[in-house]
Every structure is written in C-alpha cells, then in structure tokens.
A = this chain, B = another copy of it.
C-alpha cells in the first residue's frame, strides 16, 4: 500500500516514522531528464502541497517547495513559508498519493507548462519517494499520515482566542489589551508577544525597560486567565557579552561561511548569526534556552523568521554598495536605474547567502542551500524536545512559520504574513485541507490580515471562518490600523462571534483529537466525503469540518449572504447575535442570507454536534452546559484534562442526544 523508492538521499529528513523496505520499481511516474512525469486526463485533480497559494485542486500552476519569507501571498507566487511535498492525484478511476521527501528546492509543475502533464523536478536526484495507494482519498491520506506520524496535540487552552500585534510596546499596552477585552466581555485566553518584548531583539531576553519583572507580569496575566505567548526568532544577535551569542559562538554552534567563521546575516537585531539546527548538539543547546522563559511561567511559543528569512548579509551589503558606486558614476537610464534599485532589493533572502553557509550534520558538512527546507522544522523540533523536558507531563503551545513535513509531529504552523484582503479569507479556507493532508492540524491565519489595513466588516467575516480554525489569532503588523475585536467600536458583533468560538470548543477539540489519533483530516474538501457527487468535485469555498459539520463562510465584501451547495440534506444552524435557530434544508443549491455578524454552519444528516455555553476563557467552559444539535443519536466528546499528554480513545465520553437536548434558551 505504501511503496518506497530510494534515490540516494543525502540526509535523513526525519519526515517519516515507518520503516518501509525500498522497492526498485516506480509506479505511475516515468522519469525523464531528472523529472518525474505523470500524464493527466481531463478529470485529473491534484490535491496537497500544504501551505501554498491557489486552489484546493492545485492543477494549473507551477509550485516550488522552498521555504520563503514571502510577504505577498498572491496567486502568481510559487513558494510560501512551508515545504510540504505531498500530492494526491485522483481522476475518479486512478488515485494515489506521492510524497517527495527531499530537503531543498523541488518544483511541482501541475499542468502549467503543459495542461495535461504533471512534472515534479527536484534540484538533484537525491530523495526518497513514497507512493501511497488506497481506495479513496481519505484512505490515502490516512496511510500517508500514519507514515509520517501522529500530529502535534496542543493543550486545550490553545483553542482559545488569542490577540496579537507587532507593536504592543510594553506591559501597559498588554494590560490595556486585556482590559479592553474584559470591559467588552469578550472571551480571550492568550496575548501574544511579538519582537517588541525582547531586549534589542535578542532571543531569550526580555526588555528590562518595557517588560521588567517579567515573571510577576506573567503571573498577573495568568491570574486574569491570560497566557502570554512570546515569539522566538531563528537568528541570534552577534553581540559580545550577550550570553546566548557568547555560548553558541564558543561552542561553534552557529552556521559557518566558506572561511570557517560564523556567517553574518542581518535580521531584526542587525548583524546576527544562525544557529545550526541540523547539528544535534547545537539544536539541543538552542532548545534548552527556552527554559529561560518557561521558568518565568511561559507555556507556549511561536517560532518566526526560520525559513530562515535574511534581510541582508554582511557580505551582500558590501557588494551592493560597491555596485551602487558604479551606477552613481554613470548617467542612469530607466534600465540601469531599475538595476541599481534591485541591487538593494535583492539583498533579502538571497540565494547567494543560502549558498554561502554550512551545517555540520551527522552526514558531514552540508551547504545550507541543500537542506534549506529543514531549517524551521529543526528549530521547532529543538524547541519541542526541550519543552517536553522543561514542562514534563504538560502539553505546550508551539507553532512555527517555516515548516517541512515531519515538523507536524512537534508543532503547528500559522500561515505567515498575509494581507487584509478579502481574497485571503478564501486562501485560508483552501489552505486548511491541504495543510491537514500534510499532517498540520493546529493551524490558522492572522485573522484580519497581517499587512495592510483591515475594515470592520472584513474582520467580522474573517473571524466567522476563524472561529472554526484550531489556531484562532488576530494579529497585525506594526503601522497598520488597529484590528482588535474592540478596535472598530460596536463590539457586540465581535463578542458574539468570539463567544461562539468558545461554545464550539468542545466540538473542535474533540474533532481535533479524533483527527490526530486516527490520522484524519479535520478540514476536508467536499469531494472527499461525497466522491460520487459531481458538483462537490469543484466546490472550493465550502469545507467539511470534523465528523458532523460543513462550513460555508461569506468572503465577499458587501454581500449579505451566499449560495451554498448541500450534497445531502443538512440542518442549518444560524448563530444570530442574540439567539440560535435551526432549519432542515434539502440537498442542492440554496441562497443563504448571512447578515454581517451572524455565523451559519450545517450539520450533516444523522450527525450531532455539541455546543457549550459561552465562557470567558477555556478554563471556564462548562461541559455540563453542553447541548447537542442535529439529527444523530450519539456524539463522542473528548473529555480529557486538555493539558496532560496522556491522550487516548479512552478519554472519549459518548454523549447521546437525549442526555443533552436543546434547552429553552434556544
């Protein structure tokens, strides 16, 4: 059912956890000129590739797995932050999955050059290729997921709502965010700390001016039911006297240039060095630094800038200024002026730099560009391994920007620096099932958009999808318009939506647990559940969520509703600002009015879903308040403590419909 064909990989990526004996014969693909080729017919659909641009069906574009700090997630891009080399091919008759376990650049031309040809081209023919067969897409995904190992399980509180912003400058800023939510009676579990909390952007420090007495501040927040979640960047400031730099430098734990010296790159702290996460000792050492913060009471982290993103390098800057001198000395025309401009613009994330530093791996010294896609994964694994030791018997929140398959066992991902664009609601929806296929279940996007300015209606509509994503975080860049739930005035609609999130948590958490323990997808394209429905095949703006729900968010500005396709009769649940209504709908197309602020979802025939009372934090969710909606007879609810790592099927409580009928409040 799973075939492994081995093409002399240079390094074990760690993506796969099953031992599979290699076979010599490669099914489905032919190999030509260093590319794997598979002819597609008119009905062939190609799913997968995780965090990428474009549709759920990836056909019609060329994608490249190469972890990239890409701030414009437009449809013409080929790489975002993750490298998720799993594809699932299905033409209704033939279907199989393929995982290209390869640590650097690999291109998936899915009908771009030739609409009828799938061509996968690694930079070099040094990889493991796994072919996964099965009778259904769901079965193929389950087998693939079992190949790569159980997905990360966060603590229950990580399903709460989190507020974040690059620019919360000090404790008073954080306190006033907390106050504003409390005053508006809007639930919240987490406030995130972006690079502002650091002392001069130095990892594992806390600004002594703006966040002094940090442990007591962490406790103060914790007493209010709020956890602080700090950011950790990949690079370490080059500064003598800064303990982390001194230690790492002395032990040779940073990536080296051709000259054997630490390779110097520019990121937020200015000139910095890159921990060698592909070296086990260096990784363990970096991971151990997280203890600085866990000892202050911190229980979760987000790892950033770990593609690694490089703004410039010492070497690149020198060359750029030299080039600018020659431009200065000639009369520029349009073309030379553009080239002069590019001299500085192309300093960021430059291939020259990625080819100029080295890792000391168990397999010997390897140039970074050959293992680029593993960097964020290994950084995050180092954190996860260390957190297991720092916080024994407890789950930690951990997610990363860069990733590779394998990292899904250790952490979640967020989808990076999106924009306050309506089209990015739909991008999130389409990324969710793709990321789930590749093992990443704890995921979500910056609700309201990171870059650019958000409007009230955009934030409300976006959150109406965000209530369903495991990671529900509102985050924005410095200099953009405030987009907190309290920022637009008239907070009632926001309170309603975020309260709904908390009412959904028993369902979301239970379904998340089932998806991890059973190697299933939390979010699925409709066609995975209704493979014989020809309409379902092309629906890319609705999703199945867990065992019971279908969702269909509004993603068009000024629309008061939308068309929704029901592949079977379903119960429509409408969460108005002040009451809930249900309606039985027949299968087929329906125009569903969804006024701004309402959330609508659909319960499958014969299914149930639990809904709790609203709560101000996850800790306050009262499982005794649960009611069951829908037409089913029983629901499996995960009733573990939500913290301890002891997870198993025995934590399931079976709720039956008569145990918890809708109460008069409905």
Residues of chain A having any CB pair with chain B under 8 Å: 45, 54-55, 57, 59-61, 74-76, 111-112, 115, 266-271, 311-312, 317, 321, 324, 328, 331-334, 337-338, 340-341, 344-345, 347, 419-423, 452-453, 455-458, 488, 535, 538, 540, 556-561, 563, 589, 591
Q: Which residues of B contact A111 (CB under 8 A)?
A: 455
A54–B538 touching, CB < 8 Å: no
Q: How far is the CA of A340 from the CA of B316 in the complex (A)?
A: 14
Q: Which residues of B contact A267 (CB under 8 A)?
A: 334
Partner of A115, one of B312, B456, B556: B456
A76–B45 touching, CB < 8 Å: no
A60–B457 touching, CB < 8 Å: yes
Q: Which residues of B contact A347 (CB under 8 A)?
A: 337, 341
A266 with B337, Cβ < 8 A, contacts A76-B452, A421-B74 known: yes
Q: How far is the CA of A54 from the CA of B423 in the complex (A)?
A: 11
**A60-B557, A74-B419, A311-B338 given; 18 more Cβ-contact pairs under 8 Å:** A54-B557, A55-B556, A55-B557, A57-B558, A59-B558, A60-B457, A60-B458, A112-B455, A115-B456, A115-B457, A266-B333, A266-B334, A268-B334, A271-B333, A344-B344, A345-B345, A535-B591, A540-B556
Q: How many copies does the complex hold?
A: 2
Q: How far is the CA of A102 from the CA of B589 in the complex (A)?
A: 47
Instruction: Jot down 21 A-B pairs with beta carbons below 8 A, ordered by A.
Output: A45-B558, A55-B557, A57-B557, A57-B558, A59-B558, A60-B557, A74-B419, A76-B421, A111-B455, A112-B453, A112-B455, A266-B337, A270-B332, A270-B333, A271-B331, A311-B338, A317-B332, A321-B328, A341-B344, A535-B591, A538-B558
Q: Which residues of B contact A75 (CB under 8 A)?
A: 421-423
Partner of A334, one of B45, B311, B328, B338: B311
Q: How far is the CA of A115 from the CA of B457 in the complex (A)?
A: 8
A332 with B558, Cβ < 8 A, contacts A337-B311, A347-B337, A591-B535 known: no
Q: How far is the CA of A455 from the CA of B63 in the complex (A)?
A: 13
Q: How far is the CA of A224 from the CA of B560 in the complex (A)?
A: 52
CB distance from A224 to the nearest CB of B (A): 31
Q: How far is the CA of A457 from the CA of B57 in the complex (A)?
A: 14
Q: Which residues of B contact A317 (CB under 8 A)?
A: 332, 337
Q: Which residues of B contact A341 (CB under 8 A)?
A: 344-345, 347
Q: How far is the CA of A59 from the CA of B111 in the complex (A)?
A: 38
Q: Which residues of B contact A311 (CB under 8 A)?
A: 334, 337-338
* Those 9 A-B pairs whose CB atoms lie nearest each other, nearest first: A270-B333, A341-B344, A76-B452, A57-B558, A321-B328, A563-B563, A60-B557, A268-B334, A538-B559
Most buried by B among A317, A344, A538, A559: A344
Q: Which residues of B contact A344 (CB under 8 A)?
A: 340-341, 344
Q: How far is the CA of A182 from the CA of B111 in the complex (A)?
A: 27
Q: Which residues of B contact A455 (CB under 8 A)?
A: 60-61, 111-112, 115
CB distance from A79 to the nearest CB of B (A): 15
Q: How far is the CA of A227 from the CA of B25 in the complex (A)?
A: 58
A337–B312 touching, CB < 8 Å: yes
B558–A55 touching, CB < 8 Å: yes
Partner of A423, one of B60, B423, B457: B423
Of all chain B residues, which has the CB nearest A559? B538
Of all chain B residues, which has the CB nearest A43? B560
Q: Which residues of B contact A559 (CB under 8 A)?
A: 538, 540
CB distance from A561 to the nearest CB of B (A): 8
CB distance from A326 to the nearest CB of B (A): 12
Q: Which residues of B contact A54 (CB under 8 A)?
A: 557
Q: How far is the CA of A331 from the CA of B324 in the complex (A)?
A: 17
Most buried by B among A267, A270, A452, A453: A270
CB distance from A236 to the nearest CB of B (A): 14
Q: How far is the CA of A331 from the CA of B54 in the complex (A)?
A: 40
Q: How far is the CA of A270 from the CA of B453 in the complex (A)?
A: 36
Most buried by B among A111, A115, A347, A557: A557
Partner of A321, one of B271, B324, B458: B324
Partner of A453, one of B76, B453, B557: B76
Of all chain B residues, which has the CB nearest A61? B455
Q: Which residues of B contact A324 (CB under 8 A)?
A: 321, 324, 328
CB distance from A556 to the nearest CB of B (A): 7
Q: How far is the CA of A213 from the CA of B269 in the complex (A)?
A: 61
A419–B76 touching, CB < 8 Å: yes
Of all chain B residues, which has the CB nearest A534? B560
Q: Which residues of B contact A112 (CB under 8 A)?
A: 453, 455
Q: How far is the CA of A560 from the CA of B536 in the complex (A)?
A: 11
Q: How far is the CA of A341 from the CA of B342 in the complex (A)?
A: 9
